[in-house]
Structure 1
């Protein structure tokens, strides 16, 4: 796998991270069957893709980018879907996370 392919795989893994986190919310502590099944499947795929990207990319960069994408995505989903409040400071810190992810991507490239 090339480095650029590893980055694409890592991006997909990160997206699936906030997808499974959203599923986790809907599973209500794994008490609802289908949201729980969805969560476990997307979780497995996300971890698998993360592991594939780590064959090429450094573990620290891969894991940090994966969790960063998941964190930003979870906050965006929280605001848009679950109507969680969004403050100026939340936006500032989200920008810092995104800046860190981009910085790691460009330093590693």
Structure 2
């Protein structure tokens, strides 16, 4: 794929990656709620979220390098699942865990900034 196309569709790709990350959070929470896929409603939700996250992740990775895209997707998914799991499922979230989740967020932001700078340098 040429770099002009990558630069022009970069915003859309990052939007798809964000959607994939949101669906990944839904998937993680649904798997937790499914109780090892024994609760039908949660199990169906998990399958739907799984398919959506895979679709949007694969679409985003057509433009975003796989190492960067996967790291951002996994980071957002991990932080989102931990925070929402704490809020919605009464799972504990300690101060130390919150600190390290903040480190993950900082890493995701820096990966995005580094990717943007790299793409701008090619234009």
TM-score range, shorter chain: over 0.9
Structure 1 residues 19-72: Cα deviation after superposition (integer angstroms, max 9, x where no partner): 111111111111111211111011001011000000000000010100001000
| 2:112 aligned residue | 105
1:72 to 37, 58, 79: 79
Where does the alignment leave 5 or more consecutive residues of structure 1 unmatched? Answer: none
Task: Tell me the residue number matched to 1:88.
Answer: 95
TM-score, normalization by structure 1: 0.95
- Separation of aligned partners in 2, 1:88 and 1:22: 21
Aligned match of 2:13:
6
Q: Name the Cα RMSD after superposition.
A: 1.1
- Quote the Cα distance in structure 2 between the aligned partners of 1:86 and 1:23: 19
Shift of 1:2: 0.5
Question: What is the CA-CA distance between 1:85 and the residue it aligns to?
Answer: 2.1
1:53 corresponds to 2:60: yes
- Is the contact made by 2:19 and 2:56 (CA closer than 8 Å) also made in structure 1? yes
Give the corresponding residue for 1:32. 39
Structure with higher Rg: it is 2
49-58 or 86-95, larger mean C-alpha shift: 86-95
